[in-house]
Amino acid sequence: MDTANGNATTASAAPAALAQPNGHREDPGGFKLKFCTVCASNQNRSMEGHLRLALANYPVISFGTGSLVRLPGPTITQPNVYKFNETSYDSIYRELEAKDPRLYRANGLLNMLGRNRNIKWGPERWQDWQVGMPRVKKETDKGFEGMEGGVADIVITCEERCWDAVIDDLLNRGSPLNRAVHVINIDIKDNHEEASVGGKAMVDLADSLNQVAKEEREKVGAAAFDSGSGAARASFDERVPEVIGEWQERWPNLPATWTLAWF
């Protein structure tokens, strides 16, 4: 694993709660870190991660970093292109089903979009996210509970260009909230099979990070830790590279990169 702000070694992983066949598991309650998943078009990898984390009872939102939503078309030079924040997953599903149901069922797009429309309304663009603003009219999104305030503790991107886009955007914003955020990239190939593996890996990482967060929160006090201040979370921040290092040993085929940034 590469680290931009430190060297990763090892840390203790958290025990996972009992999972059911569909990935949902019993909610143990207690403190939970807030997550954000990011890929290029907010369609495949970030949405698989969004669903897996929501089923594991974590607060989670998801975004894409591209200028437009792009999905495969009949040829490589004829992609299906849509606008972020204005196009619902359901409308994309119905459009592609009307165009060529056989093609888009065979390549997995209809199945993916059918999943997505049961998670949230439509693809959102990272650069348009107003961090710290209440997430109004998002109550039906999976993973909404805990994300009402519009702030995440951990951002997980799914390829290097998305990680770069997130870091560049955070620098351009100028840290108005003065709140630390861990940005972790996991290189996941953009296909349905690898996205499924990546989603499981995200939950494993989330469990490990959350266990460490709970330990440090107990030491410094819930009110201080939950405020998100740098001083209160310093001990947690210092342990994150170690957690990622141990996680990387369990998932050697998913190279990870980490940095500490600021909202």
- HEC profile of the chain: CEECCCCCCCCCCCCCCCECCCCCECCCCCCCCCEEEEECCCCCHHHHHHHHHHHCCCCEEEEECCCCEEECCCCCCCCEEECCCCCCHHHHHHHHHHHCHHHHHHCCHHHHHHHHCCCCCCCCEHHHCCCCCCCCCCCCCCCCCCCCCCCCCEEEECCHHHHHHHHHHHHHHCCCCCCEEEEEEECCCCCHHHHHHHHHHHHHHHHHHHHHHHHHHHHHCHHHHHCCCHHHHHHHHHHHHHHHHHHHHHCCCCCEEEEEEEC
Q: What pLDDT digit, counting tens, does each position of 38-57 carry?
A: 999 999 999 999 999 999 99
Mean pLDDT of 60-79: 97
Domains of the chain: 2-66+125-262 (3.40.50.2300), 67-124 (no CATH)
Average pLDDT score, the chain: 92
Mean pLDDT of 144-156: 96
pLDDT at residue 21, rounded to an integer? 52
Q: What pLDDT digit, counting tens, does each position of 214-251 carry?
A: 999 999 999 999 998 889 999 999 999 999 999 999 99
Nearest to 118 by CA among 55, 31, 71, 32: 55
Q: What is the pTM of this model?
A: 0.91
